[in-house]
Amino acid sequence: MQRFILSRKNQITIISAILIATGFISALGFKNETVAVWALGIASVLGLAPIAIQAYQALRVKVVSIDVLVTIAVLGAFVIKNFEESAIVTFLFLFGAFLEQRTLNKTRSAIKELTEMAPESALKQMPNGEFEEVDVDEVDVGDVLLVKTGAKIPVDGTVLSGEGSINEASITGESLPVSKEKSSTVFAGSILDNGTIQIVADRVGEDTTFGKIIELVEEAQDSKSEAERFIDRFSKYYTPVVLLIGLLVWVFSRNLELAITILVLGCPGALVIGVPVSNVAGIGNGARNGVLLKGSEVIGDFSRLDIMVFDKTGTLTVGNPSVSEKAYYGDEIEEALGYLASVERESDHPLAKAVLEEIGDTTFSPVENTEVVKSGGITATVDGHRVAVGNVALMEREGVLLSEQANADIDRFEKNGNSLVLTSVDGELKVLMGVRDQIRPGVKEDLSRLKRLSVKNLVMLSGDNQGTVDAVSRELGLTEAHGNMLPEEKSAYIKKLIEEKKQIVAFVGDGVNDSPSLALAHIGIAMGSGTDVAIETSDIVLMNSDFSRLPHALGLAKATARNMKQNIFIAVGVVLFLLASVFFSEWMNMSIGMLVHEASILVVILNGMRLLRYKLRKKPKQ
């Protein structure tokens, strides 16, 4: 029966609300006291049932919880036939518990989502030399596997033969596919975009990088137990004190009504509702402004933030590479751009799309004698001209003379974190393009706002090369920036900050590879267009991936935390005032006390509702 009642607390809360509304309408609207008494009485009994059960369970383990005080106070109000107070107190208590439960429950379906993304089968070389499809669990270290275009890499391994371009976004989070050749390392869970390769298995099952991601998420989520609520800590001292005062008053005065009055007035209704109403108002403001805050514990930790750590791709940057810089040399540039577009149109290289988008509408020419130069680029004959498109090494191979200006431009483009695309026509350099993932518009201003909100350090972690990472860091004015980092290295960095530096850490990311760090950090913040795993693992979600919502989220968390403290101060202060007035004044009675009591509830609700209008102040003009 206890389990049945506790499992239906939400339904009981709804029924109690309906009965209380019926009681007040009957009493005030229709002057029907009988219906009002019955409605409020039934609401009191129904509402008290789960509270009394929780009080009993607490007493069994020798804990005098706030449920005990509420139970005694409601029973006292019921004894003196004040059904209005008993019904309201039980409803507020249950409603507050409902709000907290709703906002604090964390989903754990992220593990299931990760598991479903893991490779399930592999093409394994059998003793007769043929490749057969087997379950990935049947692959052992040292086995030779065949991976075709579009397939997932089933294990961590080393390429034995073949070439291809692999999308490693699920592991490193980087948007650009990576070219692989003999002796290159590949990771389980990444996808072979094009080509065919044979690999030897180096790590299988849970030992793979992808398997470690799943393990890290599990460990990090298990380590994040809910912080003990302030009300529970407070009740350890408050509840026994109020009960003792009520008992002593009854023993020495033999005045049962006075003792019950003390218990009723001592019941912290405003304290019960004050913290949840602040949370709900803050969460409501966030939802209206594109920020999903997952509970009051999140708000508390976020408001005390010391360090904010960012993934690069898809977080600080857009996630789609494009041409950021370009330089032209010599004459007939339009023809050269047409030749470049003609060659790139036939290429599946990840930079080709960015180049074509930059050139736009142009005149295409037939391409002949195409040759793919390993680790260099492409050469071809276009409209009778020898055209080479690729990196500096290809230009040297083609005997293209690079002027001092061209060399200076190349150095500058590389320092700015660009991948280079050079184009020569008949041995003469015509076009230089720098391609990189662009920084999100307005991110630099948003980071400045975070600093004004007292974030001490802004750190970037990325799987991209250190040169690109340093270029982004310089442009954004970050405190630290670390490149070439795998997911386990990112999470190890987060763990070090938490354990060694004892600081409150937030991590902002968007990919599966970010999920261990999102789960491990005190506050995980996911971009709304990221993977479901990242969103579910996180504590805060920026809807529509709007980075500009991040300063609003932090400012809102700080305002909500202040509001909660204000409500606690108001609630506790009113209770102490009422109890003191019972003993040290002649004018205080139950009616006046109840009026003040209900007024305090209204005050904390109105104070909490102010958060619905919260807006982060812009930097004042100098």
Q: Which residues are catalytic?
A: 311
Could you tell me if residue 276 is left (phi over 0), alpha (psi between -120 and 50 degrees) or otherwise beta?
A: alpha
Who's near 409: CB < 8 A, 6+ residues apart?
Answer: 327, 432
Q: Which two tokens mark 340?
A: 């470049």
Residue 566's Cβ-count burial label (10 Å; 0-12, 13-18, 19+) is middle
What length does the chain have? 622
User: What is the widest separation between alpha-carbon atoms in the chain?
Assistant: 112
Q: Residue 168, Cα to own-chain centre: how many angstroms?
A: 22
CA–CA dist 286, 537 (Å, integer): 18
Whether 380 and 387 have beta carbons less than 8 Å apart is answered as yes
Could you tell me if residue 420 is left (phi over 0), alpha (psi between -120 and 50 degrees) or otherwise beta?
A: beta
Q: Which two tokens mark 399?
A: 């005997």
Alpha helices in 416-442 (DSSP H): none
Could you tell me if residue 384 is left (phi over 0), alpha (psi between -120 and 50 degrees) or otherwise beta?
A: left
Specify the residue for token string 């040169």. 467
Cα angle, residue 518 at apex, residues 480 and 206 outer, rounded to 5°: 110
Q: Which two tokens mark 477?
A: 């004015």
Specify the residue for token string 């690109």. 468
